[in-house]
Structure 1
Amino acid sequence: MTSMTTALPRPADPPRSGAWGDRVGELLVVGGATPILFLFSWLLRSSVPLDAAELAVGFTMFHAAHVINDPHFSVTYLLFYKDARARAFGARWSPAQRLRYLVVGFVAPVLLGAWAVAALVTRSAFTMGLLIQLMFLLVGWHYVKQGFGVFTVLAARRGVRFSPRERLAVLAHCFAGWAYAWASPADPGRELEEKGVVYTSIAHPPGLERITQIVFFATTLPLVLMLVRKWRREGRLPLVAPLTGLLCSIWAWSIYSGVDPLVRYMIPALHSVQYLYFVHLLKGNEAREREGPPWFERSARVRLGILAVSALGLGWLLFHGAPAALDGALVPRGTIPTSGTLGPTPYFAAIYAFVNIHHYLMDTVIWRRDNPETRYLQAPALPEERPAS
């Protein structure tokens, strides 16, 4: 998620019930479950040996990825390529947004695909390793930008808007967090393995880690001052859930993601749940609107069910069916990962990196305010969450 809609019309307010439960549920799915999981991890590590706890949590999260992580990637394709012809060449989107759509939707996948194919054809672990490292570089950018989108959208749903200068203070903290997360820890250039590919990482010195750390902590003060001034100027700021989503995305899931040996297995799922919640808001509000005139389309429950099943199926194909079939048919059995080799699952590595990077890029189009469909995110929050007049 990259931004929020500020001036577009909003759909009619859906019926609300269980206000307290809705607020708590939203808080948990956008990041509020993270401190609870830290407590759970501590209790589990106090009860059983660490190896057994890691095995149990790692096994659980590996299988949970089928219904959480994988659909979070695949649903992006379903959102992005819907009505592709109209989006690319119609008049509904602005020229800049149409150009962005064409570049991300058609140019970028061709370039990424050519990169992956070149690595596979030449059996170059170095070339594939560069693609994988690009994925790891951009994943931090993706996490903090999603955190920024969560913050601004949830704040807007509560009636809180931010000026360009205030948004800049938030974005500075986000991008500084991304830089610090990537630079930490310092890396002299190590031999790493990812999905069977053994490659040497690009070195970054300790000085870079220290500089990015200083910059990151320096951006904390303007962020805090901005929020304090806004609170004094505007009164009550109902920002518990928005700030939770922002700070978890930057601090807990990006910079200090390795602080707990068990929670680190859960971070991709926490990020994915946060993402899927906003997909639910977007498509749920749209589906409820299109139940009535002038469309009279199928019920919102059916439409969301079809989307969920489609995302599950496509996720399985992208991360399990297609890679397993290609690696099984084209890679000799018994291949062992060694230094500078692609290992036994090079097609899995290629598809995994391709989908991740393309997912990050597609999000820059789907969640921009230029996309008229983001108005469906702006259905007002609960009355209790809105600021007083």
Structure 2
Amino acid sequence: MYGPLTDLLFGCGLLYAILCVVFLFDGGAVFDGVPLAIPALLIALASAPHYGATLVRVYDQRSDRRGYFMFSVVTTIALAAVFGVALFERWIGSIFATVYLTWAGWHYTGQNYGIAAMFLRRRGVTLDGIARRALYTSFTLSYVLVFLVMHGQAEPVADPGIEVRLVPLAIPGGFNELAIPLVTVAYFASTVAWVVLLARRVARFSDLLPTLLISGAQALWWSIPYVARFFDLGAGLVPVDWGSRSLLFPWIACAHSLQYLWITSFYARSSSHWNGHTRYYLSVLTAGSAIWALPALLFAPGGAAFDWNFALLLAATVNLHHFILDGAIWKLRNVKIARILISDDFAGEAEGSNGGRVRIAVWAIAGLGLMLTAHSLAEQFLIEPAALRSGNLEAAAKSLDRQAWLGKNSAFDRFQLGRRFEAAGNPEAAIAQFEISAGLEPRVESIKRLIGHYQRSRNAPGFVRSCDRLFELDSVDRPMPTPELEILAQKVPAKFREACVQTARAARPVAAVPGDPTADTVPNARRRQRTQYGEAP
């Protein structure tokens, strides 16, 4: 398509395999040493454009919008409606997120299978009968393993009625102990079967190599890490270590996105509107950035809800929209698609598109999303760190305020800045940051700091309010009822004050649930908070 090396690196996942080898060096120290800015930048430059490629494919040309009306318009309105309801009904949000997180692995699997089959057909390899069924079964069973492990938990990792989360099906452990080994054996057997059957049909090994690499990528991205998690294997091996999964997944998402851009750009060259790879990339980058940045600005500017619940709901909406459109527009049984992807027939077809002011306005709005994305990255990885290095804490606080308007409000960063203000002898500014942190994500660490500050400053309403926040935490037992603020007369009852102080001293941060599956498939979300806010950033 683009040449052997490019096709293998981007289309077949070889680049990710090479990266995994690099990450294994020095016991994983190379992986641990990668700055957070690197995967964030890759997500912005690769993952966002891959969403944009679907949007451009469906919405840019009038003929495509009409041809896929049910998906481009009706489905979009339905998903937007569910998103709106889920913002207020957390149970709906958790179900919505569960559908997304469960579907994500299948979406990756389907893309890998489609490209594997495409490579075989491009090289003239007959893919039918038992060989085709064995290949399809292999990829399907790879996903079945993911499904069983993901939904094998006994309960959600948090209350899905309070915080949006995956709601696992709670597949019984006894069932999984029997099913997962059997499915693993069947997966291995079906893989061996298609390799043996197709090896007899190819003239050269190189005809089979792309499909072998894609099958390996599927295993490395999904089935091997999940099976390793189930059997408690792979500790210390970055590509399969479940403890590294959340930080490794952005790299997997980038590999998937590059694969998608590789094939969509190849298809786009058949259009009569093709103007080169640079303009195509800029268009999909703009569209993809807008779909993530603009909803944050519209629905949660500076709001606490964005910190996790909104982020996951937005990810669910954008991804489900992408999954549905993707499933509708990429089918090799479509004559035009097969003609281009398999036969390299680039006969451009005249297509009508919107002209004039409407088109200009749409792209101008999308361009705003791209600028907001660039500004957000600059604030997060350049402006805020520079302010902290220079000791200008006020500038760092303003940077966090601006990031909040762009949907990047982080409870952890607010807490850390509050600690810095404490060290600098500015308790008022510290309290402001701790209040924001506790509002974003109520945790023992930030609330304990507030209780201490309000006690020292004799701020009765603030003290009582913070104590009540502490007592509301699931990990804390309420020692006594909270007095009404109106009857305090700026004085806290001694018994309540002593109970609150003692409870705060005894309270400990709640450790994060190991292997939180929601962290695996939300590559666009900001890195989840540390187990304890007291850790170094």
* Aligned sequence identity (%): 20
Per-residue CA deviation, residues 46-78 of structure 1 (Å, 9 max, x unaligned), is: 556x7x52xx35431112111100111121011
Cα displacement (A) at 1:378: 1.9
Residue 191 (str. 1) matches residue 157 (str. 2) = yes
Tell me, yes or no, if the aligned pair for 1:78 and 1:311 is still in contact at 8 Å. Answer: yes
Aligned partner of 2:233 in structure 1 is none
Q: How many residues align?
A: 321
Secondary structure of 2:95 counterpart: helix
Aligned partner of 2:6 in structure 1 is 25
Q: Which has the larger radius of gyration?
A: 2
Aligned residue runs from structure 1 range 262-341, under 5 A: 263-284=248-269, 286-287=270-271, 290=272, 300=274, 302-328=275-301, 331=303, 335=304
Aligned residue runs from structure 1 range 26-45, under 5 A: 26-29=7-10, 30-43=12-25, 45=27
Aligned partner of 2:236 in structure 1 is none
Q: Distance in 1 between matches of 2:45 and 2:36?
A: 15
Tell me, yes or no, if the aligned pair for 1:69 and 1:269 is still in contact at 8 Å. Answer: yes
TM-score, length-normalised on structure 1? 0.73
105-114 vs 205-214, which deviates more?
Answer: 205-214
Q: Distance in 2 between matches of 1:47 and 1:114?
A: 45
Q: Distance in 2 between matches of 1:348 and 1:206?
A: 31
Secondary structure of 2:21 counterpart: helix
Q: Distance in 2 between matches of 1:243 and 1:193?
A: 42
Q: Distance in 2 between matches of 1:305 and 1:208?
A: 51
Q: Distance in 2 between matches of 1:322 and 1:275?
A: 24
Aligned partner of 1:152 in structure 2 is 117
Cα displacement (A) at 1:106: 2.9
Cα displacement (A) at 1:263: 3.9
Aligned residue runs from structure 1 range 1-389, under 5 A: 22-29=3-10, 30-43=12-25, 45=27, 47=29, 52-53=32-33, 56-84=34-62, 86-87=63-64, 101-120=68-87, 123-184=88-149, 186-192=152-158, 197-199=163-165, 201-202=167-168, 203-210=170-177, 211-237=179-205, 238-249=207-218, 251-257=219-225, 259-260=240-241, 261=244, 263-284=248-269, 286-287=270-271, 290=272, 300=274, 302-328=275-301, 331=303, 335=304, 344=307, 346-374=309-337, 375-379=339-343
Cα displacement (A) at 1:282: 1.0
Consecutive unaligned residues in structure 2, runs of 5 or more: 226-238, 346-537
Aligned partner of 2:503 in structure 1 is none
Q: Distance in 1 between matches of 2:29 and 2:201?
A: 49
Per-residue CA deviation, residues 102-141 of structure 1 (Å, 9 max, x unaligned), is: 4333332232222111112xx2222111111111110111
Q: Distance in 2 between matches of 1:46 and 1:246?
A: 25
Structure 1 residues 345 and 225: alpha-carbon distance in aligned structure 2, compared to 1, 3 A threshold:
closer
Q: Distance in 2 between matches of 1:208 and 1:103?
A: 39
Structure 1 residues 129 and 158: alpha-carbon distance in aligned structure 2, compared to 1, 3 A threshold:
same
Per-residue CA deviation, residues 334-382 of structure 1 (Å, 9 max, x unaligned), is: x3xxxxxx5645444333211101111111122113434312112469x
What's the C-alpha RMSD, in Å, of the aligned pairs?
Answer: 2.9
Structure 1 residues 144 and 326: alpha-carbon distance in aligned structure 2, compared to 1, 3 A threshold:
same
Tell me, yes or no, if the aligned pair for 1:180 and 1:213 is still in contact at 8 Å. Answer: no
Structure 1 residues 73 and 200: alpha-carbon distance in aligned structure 2, compared to 1, 3 A threshold:
closer
Letter paired with 2:294: G
Secondary structure of 2:293 counterpart: helix
Q: Distance in 2 between matches of 1:31 and 1:193?
A: 37
Letter paired with 1:188: A
Letter paired with 1:131: F
Secondary structure of 1:115 counterpart: helix
TM-score, length-normalised on structure 2? 0.54
Q: Distance in 2 between matches of 1:323 and 1:197?
A: 18
Tell me, yes or no, if the aligned pair for 2:116 and 2:211 is still in contact at 8 Å. Answer: yes
65-74 vs 224-233, which deviates more?
Answer: 224-233
Aligned partner of 1:385 in structure 2 is none
Secondary structure of 1:108 counterpart: helix
